[in-house]
Amino acid sequence: MNNVGVCESMLGDPGGLDRVRESMRLAEESGDAEAIGRAYSNLPATLAMYLRHGEAAEISNRGREVSRRLGAPGYEWFHAANEASSLAELGRYEDAEALAQESLEHTRTVKAAPGIANAGATLVQTLLPRGRYEEAREIMDEIVPIARGLGGNEFLALCLRLEAELELARGNINAARLAIQEALDVVLATPAVWHVLELLLPTAQLLPERAEALLERVRPAVRDPAFQATVEEAEGVLYGDRDRFARAADIYRSFDVSYREARCRLESGDLDRARELIRRFGLENGPLGARLREIESANL
């Protein structure tokens, strides 16, 4: 039930969330530590696909406590990284950074490759928006080789997407294009839709000639506002359409994902709201602060 629910969700069916919730209930009734650990990992990850980060963070936090009681530290620190990822999406960068760093330190001590890749990627998610590029690059240099060893959408494609975003922010366009090209090669070898969705925006920014084919693959699966927002934003980049950015920003705001909202507010022309978010969440030194200054200079 857990596997089916996750796969349904990845194919764009939000009804898969109900199946994953039910699988967690059954896992808890069973008392099996492995089943419980997997359930507390997969439900927040699936909620995060649909931008339900508040609930995802809460369940991950509860999963940490449950795994600790069950004596399953591997799961405990995987849940911690998942929680940190959702906290970062909600703009709680300091809390997310501390938790991701703690998770990374623990997984390093036991040399758990999946945990290192997961926690390291999450730590980069907390550093990149705030412009701490050199620190983020050091972490990427550690986790990309590990992710290559693990392969697949969950680890390698995620790390390559982050690498593309980081190198784009650093101004290394060719390196960013190479990373997103490799990520596409990994993801397009599978039928999953959500992983393609995750690559839409950087592909539209870096390889626009390939973005329309991705959109054709994703559009039939858009049944939830979270998926719609990502499609609207990517289309905004491709077609230079402020209205699409504005619609995406409104959806992101409904999910309280501030960074995504601010990114779209900038491109929609709503600089006052974008400026407010950038200042509130300390994003002046990151990509959004740089983009705001670029737009303001062009308007002088």
Token pair belonging to 148: 């290559």
- What does the pLDDT look like over 235-248, one tens digit per residue? 999 999 999 999 99
DSSP string, 49-93: HTT-HHHHHHHHHHHHHHHHHHT-HHHHHHHHHHHHHHHHHTT-H
What predicted TM-score, i.e. pTM, was given to this entire model?
0.94
Measured between alpha carbons, how far is residue 21 from residues 149, 182, 223, 227 in Å? Answer: 31, 33, 19, 20
Token pair belonging to 190: 């599978």
Q: How far apart are CA 83 and CA 61, in angstroms?
A: 6
CB 281 within 8 A of CB 297: no
Q: In the predicted model, is pLDDT for residue 153 greater than 80? A: yes
Measured between alpha carbons, how far is residue 243 from residues 228, 247, 267 in Å? Answer: 14, 6, 9
Burial category of 167 from C-beta neighbours within 10 Å (exposed 0-12, middle 13-18, buried 19 and up): buried
Which one-letter DSSP state was computed for residue 223? -
Q: What is the mean pLDDT of residues 44-49?
A: 95
Q: How far apart are CA 145 and CA 221, in angstroms?
A: 32
> Would you tell me how many other CB atoms lie within 10 Å of the CB of residue 109?
9
Residue 229: the pLDDT is 98
Token pair belonging to 156: 């390698």
Place of tokens 């994953």: 20
Per-residue pLDDT band for 192 (boundaries 50, 70, 90) equals: confident
Place of tokens 């967690």: 24
- What does the pLDDT look like over 199-236, one tens digit per residue? 999 999 999 999 999 999 999 999 999 999 999 999 99
Which one-letter DSSP state was computed for residue 148? H
Residue 97: the pLDDT is 98
Least confident of 71-75, 122-126, 154-158, 275-279: 71-75
CB 291 within 8 A of CB 131: no
